[in-house]
Structure 1
Amino acid sequence: MPDRRRAVVVGGGYAGLVTARVLADRFDEVTVIERDSVAQSPNPAHRKGTPQSRHPHALLARGARILQELFPGLREELSEAGAPLSDFGCFPMLYPTGWSPSVRTALALQTFSRPLLEAALCRRVMARPTVTVLDETQVEGLVLDQRHRCVTGVRISGHTVRSADLVVIATGRHGRAPTWLTDVGLPEPDILGVDGKLSYTSRVYRRDPVARPDLRASVQATLAPTARRGGAVTAIEGDRWLVCLFGADGEAAPTDPEGFGAYADSLANPHVRHVVRECEPLGELYRYGGLGGRWHRYDRLRPWPGGLVVLGDALCSLNPLYGHGMTVAALQAQLLARALDAGGHDRRGLDRACAAFQRRSPRTLLLPWYLSTSLDLGWRTGDVPLAADLARRYLHHLLRRIPDDPELYRRFLNVQHMVATPLTLLAPPVRLRRRGARP
């Protein structure tokens, strides 16, 4: 494709790496620009630009399948590195209405640290002959061709211009994409925001895989308007537990060991309490807040500039408690690939592809956005939109049934993992009395 040779991806985190993998098949040159160091080392490390990396991560089934298509053998590579793999339906989930039933599903749960996943993706992406990673480099803005209303590159440190036929912004929830657009005379997008005032406080502990070989993860969920405290323990590589205590509606677990332990003791989940009180801590405590949902409605901007795409958390940051963020980014990479393939190989085709992607991006977001914001709006004391109130009431109804209905729980998980439509939850219930079966 002689007229579509160079692409620049701003952001070398998860969304940027997955997008670079897609672009590597469609461009002669792909440059990933990242402000942190992404130098490969035997021990993957947390990056300053990804503050959420110290907290739990797990891919939903749909996202895991996309990654397996883009990076064949990735799951096996993570397993060899020590990332446990199990059936999602078999790990204990404590809702305010009771314990989830244990069910066999086709939904694999693989838990790992964020650095392990990103290091594996980075190795794979950098091995592509068309991809170059330019790390420790700060992007300062966009270069716009005013006459043709298209982005032609980025300005980086030292006023250097990196020219490109396509620029993808994947800078995460704290990126400066709105400012970059207004700096070159483009309008600022509308922003939808819903904040459940969630915070995470996490710590790593030593795990004895012999002591409880069947346990890979356990969660106690928050739920508006009353259950403000929750927590999770997940097994990760290196025979470690990652414990995360979370709070909604302004609750926050302390960052001192004594207060952290007291917060864990206040939970009803015995697995979380046991790890915090009985296992050896291996690191410091880290808190991460500001986790509300923010959706930049770039899809509504007309006309959309050619040669530009915004995706991942830079487009829409979701409440991470529901686990949709990485799967949505993978879906957006797929959507971009389809738009590029359909757009044609000339300049106009590329610009049409960018506009088509941005216009269609809400397709990847409507379900996770509606789910998370409907729940987060439950913390409000004032009026709540009718649709959100109805969705929250229906979810409460489902959660009351789930402890007694394994088949309903299986369907619920399929919807959560974005492999089934919510309409499947309307099927007739199958009731088996098993409340209280989980410890």
Structure 2
Amino acid sequence: MPRREHAVVVGGSLAGLLSARVLLDHFEQVTLLERDTFPDEPVSRPGVAQGRHLHVLWDHGRGLINGLLPGVEAAMLAQGAPDLRLPADFLWLTSGGWRRRFDTARMLTFSRGLLDWAVRKELFARPRLAVRTGVEVTGLTGSSGDETVTGVRYRERGDASRTEERMPADLVVDATGRGSHAPEWLAELGRPLPRETKIDPLLGYASRYYAIPSGFDPGWKALYIQAGPPRARRTGGLFPQEGGRWICSLSGAGGDYPPTDEEGYLEYARGLRDPVLYEAIKDAEPLTPVVSFRRTAGHRRHYERIRSWPEGFAAIGDSVCAFNPIYGQGITVAAASALELGRMLREDRTTRWFQKRVKRAGAGAWLISTGEDRRYAETQGPPVPPHTRVINAYVDLAVRAANVDPESCADMLDVLGLAKPPTSLFRPASLARVIAARTKPPVDRPWSTEHASR
């Protein structure tokens, strides 16, 4: 195996942090380059575009994070991150009706600032990791003929007049997110621009924090009111977070964006498929202004198709594939992709092989998010394949089965949490449960804990 002295990670996103963790197992030195600065406290930072919106971690993702950084979950729980039973602690209106409150799985809810802080706290304590902030990478360096990437060019952020410097590396990992300049960097090395696929449901978010009212105990801890496409475009989530507060995130597809003014925000919440979320927040104390986010299109760069992909360079996370964040799967995909990076190094594979594995790691999340996004007539992107409508029709039946049958619910949560591929819903046992559940009556609104089943 080649000697591995130095790896560079460009971008302090979660995918970048987890990549750095994996690289420490294989390189004598790892350097993390980030444009912004990292706060010392568990708060949001400007470089994380979705930092002030709703974040969750499914069971499978928790297991992956714990395997990479065993102290992260304990640190988050110590800070008060709620550990919820799923869906027993939820009042959940799915696209197919109310979901019975089975005790099937668990979900960690938290602010993004808390997760990133906990990851940095454990990661940055490890030796052989150098962290440089306020640094802007401007390009890649290559060997003779540019067959291999040999490092990066960089400068201090905000000083375009300063001479670029060079940092040699045996491996460069791009984790700069949706706004990655990797296509331009590769073009400078003579590589073709990657083909890109974009599916945009014209979805926008608006979120704010509320204090949980003293003595508030309706029998649920979290609310999730999903859209009912194609007509009902609005979704609302009200989840507890550390610090005894709620985060309320409202979203709408097809250009039905939630407003950011006080009156408009509450009125939008009243227009969800059920008024229970509005009733919970209308008299609650707001802790922050309403903040919006609309850069939610599904976006995939097909790096795996570039046959002349240079050795010594890899792209990961949203730099490769960004999903509509409403499904809460990006953290899990980032962790799974980081593990594939470790596999590449253990097995001495090529970086082009890694790009194929990154695509596979995000395939389930891409299929789920784009399949749902294409239900709206306003969605922009490639034509909807005929088989997508057939699949969506079956998924509707599977959702209704998950509402009333505990085993079907477990099947569905495994898929949503990426523990199993979406194709698992078509296996004979799952198919039989979906068919059997068609005769069961739908669930009335399950107000209290007496509806929770174990």
Alignment correspondent of 2:443: 435
TM-score w.r.t. structure 2 length? 0.90
Matched-pair contact (CA < 8 Å) for 1:203–1:242: yes
Paired residues for 1:124-163 under 5 Å: 124-147=122-145, 149-157=147-155, 158=162, 159-163=164-168
Give 3-state SS (helix, strand or coil) of 1:287's partner.
strand
> 2:91 aligned with 1:92, yes or no?
yes
Measure how far apart 1:214 and its partner are: 5.4
Q: Which amino acid aligns with 2:403?
A: P
State the alpha-carbon separation in 1 of the partners of residues 295 and 396 from structure 2: 25
Post-superposition CA distance 1:64-111 (Å, at most 9, x none): 101011111322211110100011222222123211111112x32110
> 2:373 aligned with 1:376, yes or no?
yes
Measure how far apart 1:370 and its partner are: 1.3
Matched-pair contact (CA < 8 Å) for 1:101–1:409: no
Q: Which amino acid aligns with 1:319?
A: N
Q: Which amino acid aligns with 2:443?
A: R
Measure how far apart 1:234 and its partner are: 0.9
State the alpha-carbon separation in 1 of the partners of residues 343 and 273 from structure 2: 46
Matched-pair contact (CA < 8 Å) for 2:201–2:378: no
Q: How many residues get paired?
A: 428
C-alpha distance 39-245 of structure 1, shift in aligned 2 (>3 A): closer
Alignment equivalent of 2:356, drawn from 356, 359, 372: 359
Matched-pair contact (CA < 8 Å) for 1:233–1:271: no
Measure how far apart 1:230 and its partner are: 1.2
Give 3-state SS (helix, strand or coil) of 2:375's partner.
helix
> 2:248 aligned with 1:246, yes or no?
no
Alignment equivalent of 1:203, drawn from 179, 201, 208: 208
> 2:19 aligned with 1:19, yes or no?
yes
Q: Which amino acid aligns with 1:188?
A: L
Alignment correspondent of 1:325: 330
TM-score w.r.t. structure 1 length? 0.93
State the alpha-carbon separation in 2 of the partners of residues 29 and 73 from structure 1: 22
Q: Which amino acid aligns with 1:77?
A: A
State the alpha-carbon separation in 2 of the partners of residues 177 and 70 from structure 1: 26
Alignment correspondent of 1:348: none
State the alpha-carbon separation in 2 of the partners of residues 422 and 353 from structure 1: 33
Give 3-state SS (helix, strand or coil) of 1:367's partner.
helix
Post-superposition CA distance 1:267-291 (Å, at most 9, x none): 2444421342121111111100020
State the alpha-carbon separation in 2 of the partners of residues 295 and 377 from structure 1: 15
Paired residues for 1:329-340 under 5 Å: 329-340=334-345
Matched-pair contact (CA < 8 Å) for 2:151–2:169: yes
Q: Which amino acid aligns with 1:404?
A: V
C-alpha distance 392-146 of structure 1, shift in aligned 2 (>3 A): farther
State the alpha-carbon separation in 1 of the partners of residues 85 and 400 from structure 2: 23
C-alpha distance 214-111 of structure 1, shift in aligned 2 (>3 A): farther
Give 3-state SS (helix, strand or coil) of 2:26's partner.
coil
Paired residues for 1:10-49 under 5 Å: 10-40=10-40, 43-49=41-47
Post-superposition CA distance 1:130-184 (Å, at most 9, x none): 1111111111111122425111111111401111110000111122221222133
Measure how far apart 1:213 and its partner are: 8.3
Give 3-state SS (helix, strand or coil) of 1:104's partner.
strand
Alignment correspondent of 2:103: 104
Alignment equivalent of 2:225, drawn from 213, 216, 220: 220
Measure how far apart 1:208 and its partner are: 4.0
C-alpha distance 96-341 of structure 1, shift in aligned 2 (>3 A): closer
Matched-pair contact (CA < 8 Å) for 1:111–1:235: yes
C-alpha distance 408-14 of structure 1, shift in aligned 2 (>3 A): same
Measure how far apart 1:2 and its partner are: 7.3
Alignment equivalent of 2:317, drawn from 307, 312, 315: 312
State the alpha-carbon separation in 1 of the partners of residues 212 and 165 from structure 2: 48
> 2:281 aligned with 1:284, yes or no?
no
Measure how far apart 1:411 and its partner are: 1.5
Measure how far apart 1:390 and its partner are: 1.6
Alignment correspondent of 1:341: 346
Q: Name whichever of 163-172 and 362-371 sits farther off.
A: 362-371
Give 3-state SS (helix, strand or coil) of 2:126's partner.
coil
Alignment correspondent of 1:422: 425
State the alpha-carbon separation in 2 of the partners of residues 187 and 304 from structure 1: 9
Matched-pair contact (CA < 8 Å) for 2:300–2:322: yes
Q: Which amino acid aligns with 1:32?
A: L
Matched-pair contact (CA < 8 Å) for 1:101–1:438: yes
State the alpha-carbon separation in 1 of the partners of residues 53 and 389 from structure 2: 30
Q: Name whichever of 122-131 and 201-210 sits farther off.
A: 201-210
Post-superposition CA distance 1:209-234 (Å, at most 9, x none): 74228533211112431121111011
Q: Which amino acid aligns with 1:140?
A: T
Long gaps (5+) in structure 2: 156-161, 448-454
Give 3-state SS (helix, strand or coil) of 2:237's partner.
strand
> 2:304 aligned with 1:299, yes or no?
yes
Q: Which amino acid aligns with 2:124?
A: M
Alignment correspondent of 2:412: 412
Matched-pair contact (CA < 8 Å) for 1:193–1:295: yes
